[in-house]
Amino acid sequence: MKKFFYCLPRFLATLMTIIIYLLILEVFIPGVNLNNVFGRFMFASFILLITSLSWTRPKFGGLIFTIFGFIYLFITISEKSNWARIIFLSLIPIIIGILFLFEGLKKES
C-alpha cells in the first residue's frame, strides 16, 4: 500500500502532462494562430518541469501543484468555464499536490 501512494501522484502528474501535450496536437489545423500553439506548449512544459521537480522533492512539488490548481480554479470559475476544464485543469492538480504533500510530510517524519 505504501508503494501505491508513492506512485499515484507521479502517475497522475505524468498522465496529466501527456494529455496536455496531446491536446497541443489538436491546434495543428489550418487557420490556428501559432501563438496559441506556443502558449499551450509552454504550459505543458511548465507542468513537465513541476512533475520532474516533484519526483525528487515531493513537498515542493506538492506546494506548487496545489497553488497552481487553486489559481487556475479561481480563474476558470471567474470566467464561467465549462466543468470539464475546471475539473481537469484545477482539481486534478490540487489532488496531485495534496498527495505529494502527504508523501513529503510522511518522508520527513
Looking up cell 509552454 gives 42
> CA-to-CA distance for 52 and 47, rounded, in angstroms?
9
List strand residue ranges (DSSP E) for the chain, in order: none
Q: Which residues of 62-75 are buried (b: 16+ CB within 10 A; e: fewer)?
A: bbbbbebbeebbee
- What's the predicted TM-score (pTM) here? 0.80
Its domain, for residue 53, covers: 2-108
CA angle in degrees (0–180, nearest 5) for 20-77-41: 20
pLDDT tens, position by position, 57-99? 999 999 999 998 898 888 878 877 778 777 777 888 899 999 9
Q: Please give the residue that has the higher pLDDT: either 91 or 40.
A: 91
Task: Quote the number of domains for the chain.
Answer: 1
